[in-house]
Amino acid sequence: MGKEKAKGETLYDSEILTGEFARLVGKTPQWIRQLTRDGVLKQCKRGKYFLGENLQAYIEHVQGGKEDSKKPRYVDAKTEHELIKKEKAELELRAIKGQLHEAKDVRAVMTDMILTTKSKLQSIPARVSPQLDGEPASKIEKVLNTEISEALRSLSNYSPEQFMKSESDD
């Protein structure tokens, strides 16, 4: 049969001094002792730590806690914050390119367009009726359709510059 491995200490189970652990994680021994008082790290003996167990505990602490705990984690909040900043930057870029407009600007421009169209439509009878007095119904219908189409055409004349003018008026 094959030789059995001699039971030895693995790196994971090795004991490490406070100062060594501090250097390993790039912190001071005081920081390591504070984390021990806070219950993040656990000593196996006075001034000594099991390397593997405490390194994992330290990494978990730096990441904001266990993933399966019900408490929100710092790393998750940070990720959400970065996503929000990215979305905000994308919206600002679209606004700069004229692809996105503020609701108040859209409301102002659309209100202006609708009121202009309404007044054009309402002026048709007074403006056209003298010309159509005594004309056949087919001609009246044709003239009215032309006038209504012309009044409605102003609604289709959208231009991003209209929204830019609205923003500069503020």
The tens-digit pLDDT sequence of the chain (170 residues) is 444 444 556 888 899 999 999 999 999 999 999 999 989 999 999 999 999 999 999 988 887 766 665 666 666 778 888 999 999 999 889 888 878 888 888 888 888 888 888 888 888 888 888 888 888 888 888 888 898 888 888 777 767 676 666 555 55
**CB contact burial 8-33 (16+ within 10 A = b; e otherwise):** eeeeeeeebebeebbeebeeeeeebe
pLDDT at 71: 65
Q: Same structural domain for residues 59 and 36? A: yes
Q: Residue 109 belongs to what domain range?
A: 103-169
Taking the whole predicted model, whether its pTM rises above 0.85 is answered as no
Q: Same structural domain for residues 108 and 153? A: yes
The Cα–Cα gap between 33 and 141 comes to: 92
In a domain, 1, yes or no: no
Q: Same structural domain for residues 116 and 96? A: no
